[in-house]
Amino acid sequence: MPRRSAPLLALATGALLVSAPAARADAPPVDAAPVDAAALGAEPNIVVVTRDEDGDLRERKAWIADVGGALYIRTTPASGWGKNFDREPAFALRWAERELAMRAERVRDDAEAERVNARFREKYGFGDAAGDIIRFFSGGKKIYRVTPEEPKP
């Protein structure tokens, strides 16, 4: 069996342990290092790992952007992993050999959403414009602010 980091193992078993060391001796330690929003926001792609309603894991490459020190991910209303965020906001994020336990919160403020969309246009250029065509026909955008999961006591 391939080794997985503790946040993904915890997500796979339905529990999310972030700050405590992994229970198994052979499991890698939880990545508890601080998240550098600027460095993560500069990454062109990350991988989002959520759990579908039937319990299956869903992995999806996604774009991420840093807006004033906060991290954001966008998707469409029809997206399976976006629906997973709405049902269960805890997820794992893979990036640069790290795996982090994160939490997604839907952005509902129009001014915040416009700042996020502007940053995505700036960062991804034509790719974002092309994505807007797809999002237009699939019901628009859902924007999520993502933050490190708070350690459980």
Q: What is the pLDDT of residues 47-72, one digit of tens each?
A: 999 999 999 999 999 889 999 999 99
pTM over the 0.75 mark: no
| Dihedral (CA of 47, 48, 51, 52) sign | negative
pLDDT value for 67: 93
130: tokens are 């092309």
pLDDT band at 21 (very low <50, low <70, confident <90, very high): very low
Q: What is the CATH number of domain 34-148?
A: 2.30.110.10
**Least confident piece of the model among 30-39, 63-72, 73-82, 98-107:** 30-39
Chain centre distance of CA 47: 7
Outline where 30-144 has alpha helix (H). Answer: 37-42, 80-87, 110-124, 126-137
